[in-house]
Each structure stands twice: as C-alpha cells, then as structure tokens.
Structure 1
Amino acid sequence: MKKWLVGMLILVIVAAGCSNGSSGGSAADIPQEITVNAMSEPPDLDPALATDTTSGWVLDHVFEGLYTKDENGNPVLGAAENVDVSEDGKTYTFTLRDDAKWSDGSNVTAQDFEYGWKRVLNPDTGSSFAFYMYYIKGAEAYNKGDGAVEDVGITAQDDKTLVVELGAPLGYFDELLTMWTFYPVKQELVEENSAWSAEADTYVSNGPFKLTKWAHDSEVVIEKNENYWDNSVVKLDKVTYKIVNDATTYYQMFKTKELDLIQTLPSDVIEQEKESEEYSEVPYFGTYMYMFNVEKEPFTNEKIRRAFTLAVDRETLTQNVTKSGETPAYAFVPPGVETPEGDFREAGGEYFEENAAEAKRLLEEGMEEEGWTELPEVSITYNTAENNKKIAEAVQAMYKDNLGVDVKLENQEWKTYLDTTKQGNFQMARMGWIGVLVDPVVILDYYLGDSPNNRTNWVNEEYDQLMADAKVEQDPDKRYELLHQAEAVLMEDLPFNPIYHYTNNYLTSQNFENIVYPVNRYPYLKWAEKVSE
C-alpha cells in the first residue's frame, strides 16, 4: 500500500517541479502568492465538524497534527517531536515540540490535543467523523453514550506529554493521525467562543498557514504562519482560494491568469488540454456514486435498486461525458491498495455488469413485489457543479432509454446539499467518498450502520460485524479476507449505485514548483514556490 502511494506521489511531484524557469529575476523578487479554486464554500472549518474535501483542503494547510505528511506522502512527526510505542503496540506516548505554537504565538499543549480529541468524541459535539477515533480505548462507548469520558484512553500527563491507549494494535495509526479530525484546538478559545471557526478574525490554528480572510461564498485567504515551528520550508506568503463552481468560468479564469491552479476541468476541453505542460491527471482514492435512500420508495426494494444500478452504462459515462481517465466502478473500494494477494480491487473483482434487459426485468419484478402498477416518481439530487450536472443528465437519459423511467433532477449548493442528505430528504443522491488513508477499511466504513456519513438508512449486522472483526485482526491475509467479505455483503444489498473511481485532472501554472498532489487529498502547498512570472 505505502509503496504504491509513495511511488505515485514521487511521480507527481517530479512532474509538478518541471517549471519553465523563465524568471526575470530571483525567486526573492517574485511575490510568493498563489490563487487556486476551491469551487465551493467550505461548509465548516472546525476540525471536529468538517466532513468534506473542500473544508479539509483548507484545514490541512492551517492545522497540523501529531503526525503530518512529508513530500512523498509518508507520515512523519509534526507537532510531536518524539513518540514511544509500547511493546504490545497499544500505547503511544507523544512528546510535543517545544516550539509548537498557535498562530497567536501561545504554546500548543498536550491538553489542547486531549481536549480537541475528546471534544470530537463528545456526543454533544455531533461529529460525523468521531468513529475514526473508535480505535482508542473507551472512545466508542463514550461517543455512543455508553461510557464516561474519564475512561477514554487520551491523557495529557503534562503540557508536553500525551498518552494514547488503543483497544488493539493498529498498523496505520500514524497515517490515521494525519487527518484533520485529530488536529488540536485551543481549549481556551473554543470554550470562550462557540463560533470561533466561523470567521477569520476569531480563528486560531497551528499549521504552516493561518486564516486571514473568509469572505463567505467569495474567497478564503490563508497566509504564512510566522509562528509555525517549520516555517522556513514554507515559501508562499499567501494562498487565495476562490469560490467559483462553474467549470467554464474557472477554466477561463485560469486562461486569463486569474487562477493559478484548477481541478475538475470542463469535459469538453480535456482532450485539447492533455498535451499541455500545465495538465496533469492524478489517481484519486475514492468512488463517485449515487446513494439510495432505502427508506424512500421505490428504493425500499432491493431489486429496484439493482435495476437502477444495472441500467447505467459506465463506459459511456467515463469515455464520453467525464473524459478524465476515471475507471468505471463495479464495486466500492477503488484500485490502489496493495495486499498480499495483489491489488485489493483486482482480487475482489467486479460484482455486476451493465445489462439493460436484466435491469428492466428486475424493475418489473420489484414493482410486482410491491404491488405497484406505476413506479413512484423518482428524483436524483446532486450538488451544484457542471460535471455533476452532465453526469446526472446522462444517467437520466439512460434510465429513460433502459428502464422507461422519467427521472427528475434537483441540484443544490454544497452546504445545503449536505444538510439535505444528512436529514434523509432524498431518494437518490450523488455522493463521493475519498479514503483518508489508502486502505479498504476507510472506504467501507462509509456504510457502517451507525456511521453518520451513511445517509442511505441501510443497516446490516453482518456487514458491521465483519468490519469490526477486520479492525482487530492482526493477520494481513485474514484482515483483507474479512474486508472482501464485507464488500460482498454491501454489493449484494446495493444501498448505493457506484459510478466510477476518481481521477483528478488539474491545470497548474508552470510558474510554480513543488506542489504536491496526493492521491487522497487536494494539492498540498506547504513546499510550493513561485519561481517565475
């Protein structure tokens, strides 16, 4: 797994570092600023509450955990300068750096980490990502209201020493700690102001950059954090995230040099841009899908869910609509995970194939089972973005052609859309899920019965048990076999319709070097430098 990830990241970094070098002077004379496109308003910049990649993109630049990632995607110590791991692999003792500072100049303490993590787990916080901490002793019980906070294995022994106790050894705990859910928050600040993360003037963080402006629905600005312990490696003084969700508009803004980096190009320009030195494609460890609400007719019926799945021509979608190198998805876990038996996806195989005739037959059988002479009206909900619209329109046409079903389309802005799906106010809704680690478990976690991210209302006890068993299994072969079994259960019930496994395409100005393009995050700018104008 790590070998694949590191190799891919090295390849991408080398490609990104090939600048034309045509600078009129030294880099010291060039304003160290970059303007990128976030596409949508970050729904939440509180590490405990953020669940989306847009918010995560900003959070990864303004915060830092005990571990961070190096240029090759490997976990390395961040706010911690040392860690001791017990012989049984269950107790981690972290020592924080003496120069770990908040952006206001005050010291980052072990108590800030203890407070921040326990705040995530506090049921009153309502964190959708609290389950990522369930590996910690007592964390799940506390989060579910069945245990006390005092029993959670997170203890600040003093200002610089944090002890974390796990329920069982976890081979990728260092990678897990790089995700934003495990970032610290300044206890004094959060307790004094519950809305501390809503505006730039009340925001305090500990990463390579600090938040200096948030003009909602317009732009987010972060600037170099002079109090960051490793600020000497940070070359950029300013990063501006524009919020433009129309692909044609932000493509033109790149062409007129108003933007230095964009992603998710308009599908009709991809072919002409592929020969450009500014163009790059990066595998992205995630799956684009449509969720079925299994408590909303007609998707209460498994045969009808399968019919709507088999009626989609993924090859046509990826080749003629998205055109960005995506891989048609016939399962949930994307390619890219190396296991003892090879790539997890290749070993698991495909769980279905498109078949319009079979889809039509299943639809008729499902309707007969339900006693329907007419199918209830069906709508697809998606968040506003040009490519999402094109995909939804293509799927709509396929349902008309292959099932004889007229499907309505409804779009909403990203933050509203997240609220709508969280409340279950949909029948079929677009969603993407990106693994915070390159491991099947963080993909499959999405459909756990008690996962707040699982908005389908699908609960399967066998699936949940297989996932629980996999998380404590120390034998790699047995662990991956349990994960294959879990995915098979998921694909049998089909509470979702997988469409494709992601590939991100980018246009990046050749004036910049050392931008990192991870396979499970948006571009990382800690080491980026503008070398020409």
Structure 2
Amino acid sequence: MGKSSLKKLLFTLMLILLLALAACSGGGEEEQVDEGETEDDGLYSIEDFSKMKTNEGEAIEGGSFTYGLVSDTAFEGTLNSNFNSGGPDARVIGWFDEALLTWDENFVYTQDGAATYEVSEDGKTFTFTIRNGVNWHDGEPVTAEDWLFAHEVIGHPDYDGIRYGSDFTNIEGMEAYHAGEVDTISGIEVIDEKTLEITYIKATPSLVTGSIWTYPLAKHIFGEMEVAEMSSSDAVRRHPIGFGAFKVESIVPGESVVYSKNEDYWRGEPNLDEVVLKVINPNVVVQSLQTGEVDTVDAFPVNQFPDNADMSNVEFLGMVDRSYNYIGFKLGTWEDEEVVPDPEAKMADVNLRKAMWHAVDNETVGERFYHGLRWNGTTLIPPSHPEFHDETNPGITYNPERAKELLEEAGFVDVTGDGMREDKDGNELVINFASMSGDDIAEPLTQYYIQAWKQVGLNVQLLDGRLQEFNTFYDRVEEDDPGIDIYQAAWQAGIDVDPTDLYGRNAMFNYTRYASEENDRLLATGVSEEAFDVAKRQEIYKEWQQLMVDEVPLFPTLYRAAVVPVNNRVLNYSIGDGTEMYLHEIAVTSESPLVAE
C-alpha cells in the first residue's frame, strides 16, 4: 500500500472514531476539570509559538530564497491587487508589490509606509504624501495620479473585479462617477505629483483601520487600455509590475514565479538576490521542507504538525490567523450589484440552518483532525481581532437532539420511513454540498459533515459526487450555481474589523446572498460617528455577531492557527501583523537550504 493510500485509510479510521465520539457526547453538559489540571492529550496551543524566527549565524551576501505556495491547483494568475480575488494570487503579488500604507498590530495605519497621511479635523479628508524614491519597477515614479487612477478604474462601470463596494461608495462623487453621470470623482484631488487628497462622505473609525484603498495602478502602463480588458492583459497576467522589494523576472503560469531584487527599492536594497515561488502540493509539503526544496511555505497543514514538530532543519513560527472556515447557505442571488434574497430558497428556513449547525461537533473536529491548532468557531468576528471578537458568545453548540427537535418543529419529517427527512411538502429533500479539494483531510472532513447531518436525518450529497478544485469551486459559488445549496469555504478577515465587504447587501463577496434590514442597520452603525467610541463599537459588533448566530446565513466551523516552518538558514523572518518584518531584510546564512537530519 502506498503512503497516500495509507494516509487516506488512517483518516477514514479517524472519521469513524470522530463520529463515534460525537455520537457518545450527545451534546450534554461539559465535565468540569480542576483548574490547573493538565493531561497529555496530544493537543497544542498556538500561544506556545513565536511570531519571530530566531536568528543564528551570519548572513551571506545575496543568495536565493524559495517560498512554497501550498495548493493542489494552479494559482489563477490575476497578478494585480486592483483585480485579483483569490488568496493564492495575493501571495504571489505580495512578493513584488505592496500597499502604500502599512499598519500596526492593532490594524491601525501607521506613518511607516511608502506614503504618509494627515486627517482633517472633521475626519473626512485625508491628505496622502507618497515618499520620494517610491518607483515602479520600470523606474517610473509612483504618483498621486496613479493612486487616483486606481480609484477611477475600480469605480468605472466596465470594471470586472470585486473591489468596488462600501469603501469606495463612501468617497464623495464616486457613485455619480460609477453611474456614468460624470467623468471625474469629485472627492479625489491630485494636489501635486506626490500628494493626493481624498474626501469621504462619512468619517468612520474604519478609515484608519483598512477601508482606504492603498494600491495604485500604473497609469503609464494601463492608461490607454479599455477598463474591461485590463484584468486579462499581459500587464496583469504575464508581466505584472509593482514597487515592492522584488520584481517579476519570469512566470510559469499557475506554477512558479522567479523574482529578482529591486535595487531601487525605497526602503533599501534587498539582501537577497532572488526569490523563487513555487506551487507545492499539500501532500508533499513535509518532504519539500525536509529536503530543502523550499525554505518556507505559506500554509503548513497543521494536521501534520505533531508528526513533524521536531523537524531538525526548520523552526516553526505560529500565530492566531485572521482566517476561519465556515459552512454557507445559498439564500438568494446577486443581481445589479446587490444581493437579492430568495424566500423560496431550499435553505430559507432558519431552523433548518440552525439544526445543521447543532448537528456538527467542531470542537472535536479541531481536536481530532487538527490537534488543537484549529478550534471551534462561534462568531463571524474571529479571535484575531480580540478587541471585537465576542468570546462570551457560544454560537450554536453541538446538540444533535436539539437539531432533530428543530427539524421536527419546522416540518422536516421522515415521511417514507427510510431515515431521511422530506421537505415541508413531503417531497424528497436532497441538499447539495460544494466543498473544495486540498490536502488529505479535505475529503474525510467533508464526509464527517455529511455523516453528521445524516445522523439527524438530512440527506446531504456532495456536489457532482466529488470535491471541487479551488478555482472551479469559487467560480461556481460566485456565479450562484443553482446546483449548490450549501458550501464549505474559508475567509480571511481584513485588517479592518468592519464586516460589510463580506456580509453587506452590496458586497459581491456576500456569497450566501443573505440580506436583512437589521443587518443593514448594524453594519451601518458599526461605521457611524457613534462608533468612534470603542466601547460603543464593541457593543454594536457584539449585537451583530449575535444576529448572525440567530439568522445563520452561514456559521463558522473552525478558527485557525497559522503554523509556519522556516529553514534554519533564514534570518530576519517573522509572521503576523505589526512584527515589522520587511521583505528586503530577509537574508540567508548559506547558499543552499539546510536539509533535515
């Protein structure tokens, strides 16, 4: 039996064990444990990891660094922040481009980036100044006109990306420009080559924590293109340009990128001569690290950490990730840049949705599949934002008996006696579940959810009978494929806690297509003048988190830890927000990565 087959067998056995444990627990009261009592349960805590790598040895001059992008599919290749939508592309972009503003560990914009800013007394007008020496990779200066141009493209009626939303409609004159009523955006003014002024309709606390668009677009390259053709152009797909520490030398589409150092980088010449990014299949991550094929990876499969915690040639860093897994329910469609709820959708009954949350034991999933490095999700503001995450809210807890009661009360009963519930009209109820392929856990985890729902009498079937690869999955979810009733995905929360761009009525990313007047009210209040009072904003988002628990358009399954192995030859490497790692500072102590003993 091959290693891959053996792993799948082991995970199948784990799934059986997990279901047995879940069935035994039955959603009863938790056992109390004496404070301070510990046991060797094989679980890990992210609090025991450091965000910053230990530096050992002297840096050599130059050198090459290899970064592994963990994926079972090719990256899409939309390599410009104004147009891309997927996480893999964003990580490719991150090596050659950057935002004009940086932020600290509290997600507040600093004055340390490629641009600085001043705010008017009323909090509505921001004046940005781009530093001298900030140049595109072709030597042209990054200008205020480029920053304005990015806003003009994203706000253009022919723009085909996903960025246009509440962050842009809050700019004076943007909606009139987007509607084609005017040719310019009245709220944005170029003061001089390096100075841009933006006036917003409302002063909000989010303006200094992530809702300002900080990625310019090189007008000298894109200025003569039709907006509708930009995202598919060679300037995005084959020869992308930025102003970051490294510049793109060559691309093997979807597979790898070679970057060379940008000697003209505004922070200073990078230590490394070269960075190589390559796609690494989740099933060979450990081997790739042990052999030195890569120096680090963007997403180490945390289920593989216990068996490799003592890998001799790497140091493991870790942090609470801004990402979380979730199960989403399709509740409507996206039409004319707005969510249109469908009261007749298959998943429209809130008690059906609540029952499906009650039916799954995510605490045990986190322990058995991920050894405590993923854990039960409760609300839609993750603990990576501790100031606003409501740790007192338990979400909907595991209780399969309550799930059955809710289904009975809602009229989902087993009419035919086959153990599966029919819909309220007595017709067969089949719930089509879309889930992504990935590492060895993807399939058994998906099957766990299907079996957990089966135990409460719901016939949930995997869409097309198989897992979907990343790009196909998101294409179908974004297009509201009528074959999808529920789906399993993940979000990375933005640095700004405001969830409007994920869950607002006018948010394309609102894939569940849920909308309500109460949701509109709370999201608007969360960025209102009264929300400048942090305590008030906490209260607002506490109420919003509870609304999402009550309405269940989706539910979080797992919060996530990011565990990042870094080869021991690497210096000046760190992860997370506010750690002040700059790419140009990364260095190595030897020409080749160290190999595991």
Normalised to the residue count of structure 1, the TM-score between the two structures is 0.86
Find 1:508's aligned residue among 553, 566, 575. 566
CA distance in 1 between counterparts of 2:67 and 2:171 reads 42
Residues 1:209 and 2:246 are matched in the alignment: yes
2:237 match? 199
Tell me which amino acid in the other structure corresponds to 2:207. Answer: F
Residues 1:254 and 2:289 are matched in the alignment: yes
CA distance in 1 between counterparts of 2:584 and 2:434 reads 36
Residues 1:449 and 2:502 are matched in the alignment: no
Structure 1 gap ranges (5+): 1-7
2:359 match? 311
Residues 1:37 and 2:69 are matched in the alignment: yes
Q: Is contact 1:292–1:495 with CA below 8 Å preserved after alignment? A: yes
1:4 match? none
Q: Is contact 2:150–2:217 with CA below 8 Å preserved after alignment? A: yes
CA distance in 2 between counterparts of 1:505 and 1:433 reads 17
More helix by share: 1
Q: Is contact 1:67–1:177 with CA below 8 Å preserved after alignment? A: no
Q: Is contact 2:81–2:93 with CA below 8 Å preserved after alignment? A: yes
Q: Is contact 2:96–2:242 with CA below 8 Å preserved after alignment? A: yes
Tell me which amino acid in the other structure corresponds to 2:244. Answer: G
Find 2:556's aligned residue among 498, 511, 525. 498
Q: Is contact 1:380–1:408 with CA below 8 Å preserved after alignment? A: yes
Tell me which amino acid in the other structure corresponds to 1:50. Answer: N
How many Å apart are 1:175 and its aligned residue?
A: 4.0
Q: Is contact 2:177–2:184 with CA below 8 Å preserved after alignment? A: no
1:103 match? 137
1:400 match? 454
Find 1:290's aligned residue among 311, 327, 348. 327
CA distance in 2 between counterparts of 1:254 and 1:173 reads 40
1:222 match? 259
Comparing 94-103 and 124-133, the one that deviates more: 124-133
1:164 match? 198
SS at 2:348 equivalent: coil
2:497 match? 440
Structure 2 gap ranges (5+): 1-45, 333-343, 414-422, 593-597
Q: 1:149 to 1:282 in 2, by over 3 A?
A: farther
CA distance in 2 between counterparts of 1:525 and 1:360 reads 53
1:344 match? 389
How many Å apart are 1:222 and its aligned residue?
A: 2.4
How many Å apart are 1:331 and its aligned residue?
A: 1.6
2:419 match? none
Q: 1:390 to 1:524 in 2, by over 3 A?
A: farther
Q: Is contact 1:122–1:142 with CA below 8 Å preserved after alignment? A: no
Residues 1:302 and 2:345 are matched in the alignment: no
Q: 1:328 to 1:197 in 2, by over 3 A?
A: farther
2:121 match? 87
How many Å apart are 1:208 and its aligned residue?
A: 1.6
Give the number of the structure whose alpha-carbon radius of gyration is greater: 2
Could you report, residue by residue, the CA deviation over 1:86-115 in whole angstroms, capped at 9, with x for unpaired residues?
A: 222221212222212110011111100000
Could you report, residue by residue, the CA deviation over 1:376-420 in whole angstroms, capped at 9, with x for unpaired residues?
A: 222221222114333212212222234353432532222222211
How many Å apart are 1:46 and its aligned residue?
A: 2.2
How many Å apart are 1:285 and its aligned residue?
A: 1.6
CA distance in 2 between counterparts of 1:147 and 1:288 reads 41
Q: Is contact 1:47–1:183 with CA below 8 Å preserved after alignment? A: yes
Q: CA RMSD in A?
A: 3.1
How many Å apart are 1:266 and its aligned residue?
A: 4.2
Q: Is contact 2:374–2:559 with CA below 8 Å preserved after alignment? A: yes
Q: 1:406 to 1:52 in 2, by over 3 A?
A: closer
Tell me which amino acid in the other structure corresponds to 2:457. Answer: L
Within 5 Å, give how 1:89-488 maps onto structure 2.
89-131=123-165, 133-134=167-168, 136-138=170-172, 141-142=175-176, 145=179, 148=182, 150-176=184-210, 181-193=213-225, 194=230, 195-200=233-238, 202-232=239-269, 234-244=270-280, 246-266=281-301, 269-276=304-311, 278-295=315-332, 298-323=346-371, 325-339=373-387, 344-347=389-392, 349-368=393-412, 370-386=423-439, 387-403=441-457, 405-409=459-463, 410-425=466-481, 426-437=484-495, 439-442=496-499, 445-472=501-528, 473=530, 474-488=532-546
Q: 1:95 to 1:314 in 2, by over 3 A?
A: same
CA distance in 2 between counterparts of 1:59 and 1:293 reads 31
CA distance in 1 between counterparts of 2:278 and 2:248 reads 14
Aligned residues: 508
SS at 1:384 equivalent: coil
Q: 1:224 to 1:422 in 2, by over 3 A?
A: same
Q: Is contact 2:354–2:396 with CA below 8 Å preserved after alignment? A: no
How many Å apart are 1:173 and its aligned residue?
A: 3.1
Q: Is contact 2:79–2:240 with CA below 8 Å preserved after alignment? A: no
How many Å apart are 1:324 and its aligned residue?
A: 5.2
- % identical equivalent positions: 21
CA distance in 2 between counterparts of 1:262 and 1:176 reads 26
Comparing 90-99 and 374-383, the one that deviates more: 374-383
Q: 1:248 to 1:82 in 2, by over 3 A?
A: closer
Tell me which amino acid in the other structure corresponds to 1:405. Answer: N
Q: 1:374 to 1:254 in 2, by over 3 A?
A: farther
SS at 2:196 equivalent: strand
Q: Is contact 2:64–2:276 with CA below 8 Å preserved after alignment? A: no
Q: Is contact 2:376–2:557 with CA below 8 Å preserved after alignment? A: yes
Tell me which amino acid in the other structure corresponds to 1:188. Answer: H
Q: 1:291 to 1:519 in 2, by over 3 A?
A: farther
Could you report, residue by residue, the CA deviation over 1:225-268 in whole angstroms, capped at 9, with x for unpaired residues?
A: 22322233x22222222123x32222222222111112444455
SS at 2:383 equivalent: coil
Tell me which amino acid in the other structure corresponds to 1:488. Answer: Q
Tell me which amino acid in the other structure corresponds to 1:304. Answer: L
CA distance in 2 between counterparts of 1:460 and 1:45 reads 35
CA distance in 1 between counterparts of 2:129 and 2:350 reads 52
How many Å apart are 1:319 and its aligned residue?
A: 0.6
